[in-house]
Amino acid sequence: MLRFLARRILTIIPLTLMMAIIIFFLMRLLPGDPAGHMLGPEATPEEISELKIKLALDQPVYIQLVRWLGGIATGNLGDSFYHNMPVSRMLLNHMIPTLKLTVFSLVLAIIIGTGAGLISAVKQHSLIDRIIVVISTSFMAVPGMWLGLLLVLFFGVVLRWLPVAGYQTFSNGGISSLKYLVMPVLAMTTAEIGILTKMVRSRMLDVLHQDYVLTARSKGLPFWKVILKHAFKNTLISVVTLSGMMLAGLIGGAVIIENIFAIPGMGRLIVTSIARRDYLVVQSAILIITFLYLFLNFLVDVVYALLDPRVSYGSLKR
Amino acid sequence: MQAETKVQTIEPGEAGATPLKKRRESGMRVLFRNPLAILSFIYLVFMALAALLAPWIAPFAPSHMDINARFIPPGIEHWLGTDHLGRDVMSRMIFGGRTTLGVSMAVVLLSALAGTSLGLISGYFRRADEIIMRITDLFMAFPPLIGGLAIMAFLGSSVKNVILALFLVSVPRVARIARAETLVLRETTFIKAAQSMRAGPGRIIFRHILPNAISPLIVYFTLMFAGTIMAEAGLSFLGIGSPPDVPSWGIVLSEGRYYMRNAWWLTVMPGAAIFLAVLSCNLLGDGIRDVGDPRQYGRARRR
């Protein structure tokens, strides 16, 4: 087990390194001169060359690359051009809201999606099954940004139950800080609930038709015991696999949702920094949010390995 | 030609599959029995036509402003109302469909072509596999929207760049699926038979593997179309997709949100358009998937 974990961690490192290199070269795609681009059309040539020296843009590409990679390793990612503040500190500040949104949404999606899928499969062809299928199919197609806006319109503007936007840290607001997360989390998680419900339902139906379930039933085990102990346990493994895939959608969703609800997370940082041409922040933030995604995926893999005795710790899934 | 017919007769015995032609016929029947899929298909065709014929059917020009007609609620003259500049929302949505659906179509077609080719090559030739798969691993390490965002951030907003960004995000995913299908098919007896008859790799890939791998891929393309609509709208909504002077559903939605309090239709309508288009793609994809699933033919099949 420990060897599996160590190996899994070791794959993250080269992957992050390669991504850092890709992002580095993406930044070179900026049309023309990055320094001129950052300063805008009114910049004088002196200002541009000064910035070039500051960003080491006057040096050969490989030196720049080494500096960027070295910066990542030591945590010194340079200073934000707009805020005059170390990029690393900005990233740390913005990471927590995004993590909170993603993890809350994932947990909520797993609870509701698994529950609904389970009920739907056990009561196949019943009215409740049909309702769940219709709802989950519609949920899958709901754009998170639209749902977010509709929630604001309904609960924020019309009913005035929840704040329309904003964010509070837990240490500042305590329990009431959660009020700010309700609508963003709902907007992010709805599509994922739909996907998970559908998958759990079909997986569960597969399992329920297997011979060992029939055997358990014919031995006289009560129905709910068969469902929970035999069928559900096997479905749970697919839930964990799916959670890893859902993370991609959730992290992308967080970027949009943070911008609607003015939540100071990574997504909002990236989008505002693009608008401000603060490219040092953009490249580091994209690297960190991708790293976050890899890390959460790693945690999912750990849970997976713990749950499924069949996972061989030696070989990695391809 | 003789070899060809022999290969074809071996094929049906494989994995209990019915011959291709027969399967296709009953496949159409299954699809026609599914009214939701048909309805979705009709809706998508209708949307595509509206987008194609936009200059002729839109009641107003998308950027035609009328300061005296600001914030008119949906009614007889403006079916979907007007926005903060007095522009007709319906016309903007019809032209927006051009961008959103056009970008999605381009992305799906391009990445289907490139991704399927890469997947087939990767699945069939062991040596290419290692290289192609390591590269796709790398690209897939970015969550899709973040990858698109990263590319757009540095390329700048334009319709061409959105297509490029979403293309780069989708290709590895298509390649993955095509590869998985190829790997399974490569080991089947009818491919081995074709190989033993000295059929070249080109012939095997295009005549034998591709036709058998295509149905799961088509399902994926339909779902990918939905995903791309969502991604295009998302990027435009964030202001880094198509430029503001090109209407897209995401941009109409994004502009409308500031006036949500007094003009609900500016938020509801473009979102509903995205929702319905994505829903139709998903339902159509489900319908096509059922066609490919032999369990739908009424005979129980053990896994």
**Residue range A127-172, pLDDT digits in tens:** 999 999 999 999 999 999 999 999 998 888 888 888 877 887 777 7
The neighbouring-strand residues paired with B88 are B82
Express as a percent the part of chain B with pLDDT over 70.
86
Residue listed under structure tokens 């095997």:
B204
- Residue B65, token pair as written in the block: 């402003």
Higher pLDDT, residue B216 or B296: B216
Q: Which residue of A has its CA nearest to B272?
A: A146
- Average pLDDT for A84-103: 88
Contacts of B245 (CB under 8 A, 6+ apart): B63
Q: Are B283 and A143 a contacting pair at CB < 8 A?
A: no
- Average pLDDT for A84-111: 90
Interval B157-193: pLDDT, tens = 889 999 999 999 999 999 999 999 898 888 888 888 8
Residue A239: C-alpha distances to residues A81, A234, A301 (Å): 43, 9, 12
Note the pLDDT of residue B9.
41
Q: Rounded to an integer, what distance in angstroms lies between the CA atom of residue B10 and that of residue B21?
A: 14
Torsion (CA) B279, A237, B138, A10 in degrees, nearest 10: 160
Which of A27, A145, A294 is opposite residue B237, by nearest beta carbon?
Answer: A145
Note the pLDDT of residue A31.
65
Is pLDDT of B3 > 60?
Answer: no
Residues listed for chain A: 318
Q: Are B153 and A253 a contacting pair at CB < 8 A?
A: no
Q: Which residues of B touch A153 (CB under 8 A)?
A: 260-261, 264, 267
Number of CB atoms found within 10 A of residue A302's CB: 15
A residues 201..220 contacting B (CB < 8 A): 206
Express as a percent the part of chain A with pLDDT over 70.
94
Note the pLDDT of residue A228.
79
| Contact indicator for B263, B71 with CB cutoff of 8 Å | yes
Is pLDDT of B276 > 50?
Answer: yes
The beta strand positions in A193-235, using DSSP E, are none
Interval B220-258: pLDDT, tens = 999 999 999 999 999 999 988 888 888 899 999 988 888
Is pLDDT of B66 > 50?
Answer: yes
Note the pLDDT of residue A216.
82
Note the pLDDT of residue A311.
58
Is pLDDT of B135 > 90?
Answer: no
Q: Which residue of B has its CA nearest to A145?
A: B234
Half-sphere exposure at residue A268, Cβ-oriented, CA atoms within 13 angstroms: 19
A residues 85..144 contacting B (CB < 8 A): 137-138, 140-143
- Average pLDDT for B296-303: 38
Note the pLDDT of residue A143.
92
Classify residue A232 by its DSSP letter.
I
Side chain identity at B90, as an amino acid letter? M
